[in-house]
Amino acid sequence: MRSVRHVELAIMDDEGRTLSSGQQGEVCVRGPKVTNGYWHDEAKTSASFVNGWFRTGDVGYIDSEGFLFLTDRKKNMIISGGENIASSEVERVIYELPQVAEVAAIGVPDPQWGECVTAAVVLKPGESLTLQHLRAHCNGKLGGFKTPKKLVLLEALPRNPSGKVLKRELRILLAEQTG
């Protein structure tokens, strides 16, 4: 998609610097059609703007023709060893496995790396999957730092009433299991 009239679009890093075409970062917008802030919430308003640009919370990139591609939500980014990892990229590769019914990739706290890429998987009936098989499948399809270090098999992923996976609840569940 391209931006609409009277709305400027930019991809920015965490410090508010505009990134070049093809570089992934946070989608930011500004213009007369963009909100001036949150109703009666100065703290949230302040945190959501950088140099007049509204931070949408979406992660994506703009290609050389000016088209916007959304890749993830910022809150779903996994930060491991200082590298930003889009959970959706990891999930797409894992969904290629025929035994996988559902998957959610999340970051769980790790003392060495900050976060550890973890795959929460629901298997199809009668199927099995090991971490070694999962990692072998991801080899060559994902960078080594993006390949899950942990595999958790679940009966179901936590979802809201509309079916969206609740990654925040999943992080809490996994922290309780490992903590």
**Model's pTM, two decimal places?**
0.74
State pLDDT tens for residues 101-157: 999 999 998 889 889 999 999 999 999 999 999 999 999 999 999 999 999 999 999
Residue 2 has pLDDT above 70, yes or no: no
CA separation for the pair 46, 33 (Å, rounded): 18
Residues 6+ apart with CB under 8 A from 8: 29, 30, 31
Percent over 70 (pLDDT), the chain: 97
State pLDDT tens for residues 77-97: 888 988 889 899 999 999 999
Give the side-chain half-sphere CA count within 13 A for 90: 29
Residue 74 has pLDDT above 90, yes or no: no
